[in-house]
Amino acid sequence: MKFAVVVNEGPYTHQASDSALQFVKAALDKGHEIFRVFFYHDGVNNGTRLTVPPQDDRNLQRAWSEIALTRNVDLVVCIAAAQRRGILDANEAKRQGKDADNIAPGFRISGLGQLIEAGIEADRVVVFGD
């Protein structure tokens, strides 16, 4: 089965990101395909490389980056939600006149069209968070 996953909550404010990550890992381990993970609303905070959790806490940004890079999972951060929360890739930072970017490895910024495409291409869309 081909899944699309939507994450609507930040990494340390709600269980949604943890649950989505575990779902993605389990689905891949069972041989399913993850077409795309789309981070929306506060979920875009999963995509900042500047997260520094305490050493004894989980690092969700790193875990998401690892799954993107090792399992070839497409991680898309909604551009509008990201801009509102100060998350920029190099191109968007330049376009907005900012002197730095902070998108984490394995993540990319794009628009809601990527969510629509995921809904069309996937057999099921699973949403985590409100």
Q: How many Å apart are CA 22 and CA 37, to the nearest integer?
A: 13
Residue 78 appears among annotated catalytic residues? yes
Mapped onto helix, strand or coil, the DSSP state of residue 89 is coil
Tokens read off for 5 = 């996953």
The answer to whether the beta carbons of residues 123 and 4 sit under 8 Å apart is: no
Give the active site residue among 78, 79, 115, 122: 78
Residues known to be catalytic: 78
